A and B are shown apart, each in its own frame.
Chain A
Amino acid sequence: MVPLSWYLMLSAVLFIIGTAGVLLRRNILIILMSIELILNSVNINLVAFSYFLQDLRGQIFSVFVITIAAAEVAIALGILIALVRNKAALNVDEIQTMKG
């Protein structure tokens, strides 16, 4: 049988890879994909705990996480399309209209 700590390690590794993608890359599409990766690594954690503790709440939560991630991607890509239509920039360093 696979112990719980292996799943936790895998999910931590994927989380760190996703964080590295968000922090190191400057392409806005890659940043969005890394956010998806982070959300999915959290899902692995939730489902693993749900199985090992035999508690359904983990699976219910991961269904909600998947739904919210889909909504977030739809909105983010909508914003991206509107942004590129006004200003042809895919690099997050060039987008500074809000002085952020």
Chain B
Amino acid sequence: MTEQIFFFIFAALAVGSAIAVVSLRNPVHSVISLMVCFLQMAALFVLLRSPFIAVVQVFVYVGAVLVLFLFVIMMLDIHKASMERFVSGGQLGVIGLLVVLVIEMVLIVSKSKLAGISVASVTHLDGSVREIGEALFTKYILPFEVVSFILLVALLGAIVMGRKEVK
């Protein structure tokens, strides 16, 4: 019961701040709302007994990605961009598409057999970092290496694109 109350608090805050992200005019306010949203998601990961993912979420998203966003906003001139209207005209097609998406999602979640699961049947995972580390370095070693290579490529790409042209 307590868990359900906490789920409601976190879910309501997450949805509210997500709506704030897409509806606020000032990008700085959007970043702060996104930070609130990500922190609520980290709390939900703790409710799902995955503390490692929760910590990674806080470190990588709140600590790195959002600070990067703030840094870029600081370098740009946001005054012009923040004067934009939320829904410019002629977007009826987009809204229709969103309605179709909503109906589809509701149908999928309500008709799915898996959605009826309420408690984990067996609990052989203890959610420790040790399990994830062992799996990452034995069974999933190839994806792990590929991801590290992708990070290296992203680092080089960001440096090359951020540099001034040398003529």
Residues of A within 8 A of B (CB): 1-10, 12-21, 23-27, 29-30, 32-34, 36-37, 40, 43-44, 47-56, 59-60, 62-64, 66-75, 77-82, 84-85, 88, 90-91
The CA-CA distance from A26 to B7 in the complex, in Å, is 33
Contact A84 B76 (CB under 8 A): yes
- Whether A77 lies near B68 (C-beta < 8 A) is yes
Q: Which chain B positions have C-beta within 8 A of A34?
A: 21-22
Interface contact A8-B77, CB-CB below 8 Å: no
Q: A7-B44, A20-B22, A70-B65 are in contact. List 13 more A-B contacts (CB 8 A).
A: A4-B116, A9-B109, A15-B105, A18-B18, A23-B94, A24-B22, A24-B94, A43-B41, A51-B120, A63-B132, A81-B161, A90-B76, A90-B78
CA distance A78 to B157 in the complex (A): 8
Complex CA gap A64/B113 in Å reads: 27
**Are B38 and A81 within 8 A (Cβ)?**
no
With an 8 A cutoff between CB atoms, is B166 at the interface?
A: no
B residues adjacent to A (C-beta < 8 A) = 3-4, 7, 11, 14-15, 18-19, 21-22, 27, 30-31, 34, 37-38, 41, 44-45, 47-50, 52-53, 56-57, 60-61, 64-65, 68-69, 72-73, 75-78, 80-82, 84, 86-88, 91, 94, 97-98, 101-102, 105-106, 108-110, 112, 114-125, 131-132, 135-136, 140, 143, 147, 150-151, 153-155, 157-162, 164
What residues on B are CB-neighbors of A91 within 8 Å?
A: 81, 84
Q: Which of A2, A8, A66 contacts B56 (CB 8 A)?
A: A66
Asked whether B48 lies within 8 Å of A51 as measured between CB atoms, the reply is: yes
CB pair B105–A67 under 8 Å, yes or no, is: no
Listed by A's residue number, 12 A-B pairs whose Cβ atoms lie within 8 Å are A2-B7, A16-B101, A48-B48, A51-B49, A60-B136, A64-B143, A64-B147, A66-B56, A71-B150, A75-B154, A81-B72, A90-B81
Q: In the complex the two chains form, what is the Cα distance from A70 to B94 in whole Å?
A: 28
Query: Which residues does chain B contribute within 8 Å of A9, judged by CB atoms?
Result: 109
- Of A52, A54, A59, the residue contacting B132 (CB under 8 A) is A59
CA distance A4 to B24 in the complex (A): 31
**Nearest CB of A to B47, in Å:** 7
Q: Once the chains bind, are B135 and A69 in contact (CB under 8 Å)?
A: no
| B31: chain A residues within 8 A (beta carbon) | 33
Given contacts A2-B47, A6-B11, A74-B158, contact A54 B125 (CB under 8 A): yes
